[in-house]
Amino acid sequence: MAEEQMPHPGHDKHLCWLTGQGFHVDKQDQYKKLVKDGKFMCKGCGRVAARAENLCDPIAL
Ligand SMILES: [Zn+2]
Ligand SMILES: [Zn+2]
């Protein structure tokens, strides 16, 4: 299987990437933990996460 190209380090932990992989469907409980009480929004895609490290381009809400 070919490796997916990552645009930057840690992208495999970013919701921006994970939701595209169906993470919110397969690992719904984990996903809910990451977005619960979201304090950051990704400037790139508008997704919200509790921690900045789970977004590509986070800004504080
Ligand atoms: Zn994003
Ligand atoms: Zn990213």
**CA 46 to ligand 2 centroid distance, Å:** 12
Query: In Å, how far are 12, 27, 37, 50, 54 from 59, measured between CA atoms?
Result: 19, 25, 15, 11, 12
How far is the C-alpha of 7 from the C-alpha of 41, rounded, in Å? Answer: 19
Confidence (pTM):
0.87
Report every protein residue that has its C-beta within 5 angstroms of ion ligand 2: 11, 14, 56
> Which amino acid is residue 20, in one-letter code?
G
Residue with tokens 């930057």: 8
Mean pLDDT of all residues belonging to the chain: 94
Ligand closest to the CA atom of residue 14 = 2
> What is the residue extent of each domain of the chain?
11-60
Indicate whether 41 pLDDT > 70.
yes
